[in-house]
Structure 1
């Protein structure tokens, strides 16, 4: 009898551990997002002038490049998403899950000869933190805090959040990523109280 109780308890704990992984992020066809697959990010509702997410020049400067949103209702540039540990907590390798640190990287290259991995950087002209490229892929730790983002649910889609947990002893800020118009009229991705709700097209 005692052995049966212990077996049942062990089975329950095992099932709970497997099911404790965060929910997967889904694309518009209800399929799980996976690392290595290219996705187009679009806003959930094209309110006003809102299109896809692109890699673009900031103002009159070609380099460094930043992350912005098209004003026209068009698709942006494809990107890939890589979790901090593709195997840990995932029944299948490479599933992108909610509330998990991820690197986000535009496909292709730039004329700036820099990485296209997203990173957070303080923009002195905007006087706030904006999403740029030039980040480091992988190597989680205090040296790469600026390169890690998370994906969370919204009422009608998902949002990007900056709240890295790759360093347990580091003091970090946690903010939504939204749209902020800079001095040149460019719709930039930056930390904001008003998150940009998005969906993913494979």
Structure 2
């Protein structure tokens, strides 16, 4: 009897210390955001631009960078999320994932988001590599985190145990040509997800 009591006590203590899964990300209708399903990323605050899309921002046609559409009525381009474990069907907060635009472009590039340095800024561009988590793809992994009652995007990948990436919130920075480019910023871009 003592052995059974000790086992039950140990089991209940072990269960209380078990890691809780991160919360599931939800779209504007309250439904779960799912891997492989197309969504638009939209700003919470309307009147300050539209959804996310691709545009040439470097005074040449390629590569394309991730920008916020200038017009509020523009939902941008549909995109998909792929978690580190592609078998997972639901997207969870604070977990590494690839973000991939579903549309094709004139540039020969993958449309997978990645962080890249350009003119002293860390900007979000779209010629990364999907999957293959590790040191070689560290710049291709983003996270969705809760921000007040909405969400924000964060670059702080954990797909490499010994890597020490720069971490930061993704915000909107307006460049010299008026492009609303996504980049590491002190001011997070407050977003929501709408099924395409």
Q: TM-score, with normalisation over the residues of structure 2? A: 0.92
- Residue 171 of structure 1 pairs with residue 170 of structure 2: no
Q: Count matched residues.
A: 193
Match of 2:68 in 1: 69
| Secondary structure of 2:63's aligned partner | strand
Match of 1:39 in 2: 39
Match of 1:133 in 2: 126
Decide whether the 8 Å contact of 2:77 with 2:103 is kept in 1: no
TM-fit CA distance, 1:62: 1.4
Which range is displaced more, 30-39 or 7-16?
Answer: 7-16
Runs of 4+ in structure 1 over 4 Å off = none
Within 5 Å, give how 1:1-20 maps onto structure 2.
1-2=1-2, 3-7=4-8, 9-10=10-11, 13-14=14-15, 17=18, 20=20
Match of 1:154 among 131, 147, 160: 147
> Unaligned regions of 5+ residues in structure 2, if any?
none
Aligned equivalents of 1:44, 1:182: Cα separation in 2: 22
Within 5 Å, give how 1:42-53 maps onto structure 2.
42-46=42-46, 48-53=47-52
Aligned equivalents of 2:159, 2:66: Cα separation in 1: 23
TM-fit CA distance, 1:49: 3.0
Aligned equivalents of 2:161, 2:106: Cα separation in 1: 36
| Secondary structure of 1:109's aligned partner | coil
In structure 2, relative to structure 1, the CA distance for the partners of 1:113 and 1:24 (3 Å cut) is same
Aligned equivalents of 1:197, 1:117: Cα separation in 2: 21
Q: TM-score, with normalisation over the residues of structure 1? A: 0.89
> Unaligned regions of 5+ residues in structure 1, if any?
88-92
Task: Provide the aligned C-alpha RMSD in A.
Answer: 1.7
Match of 2:105 among 110, 129, 141: 110
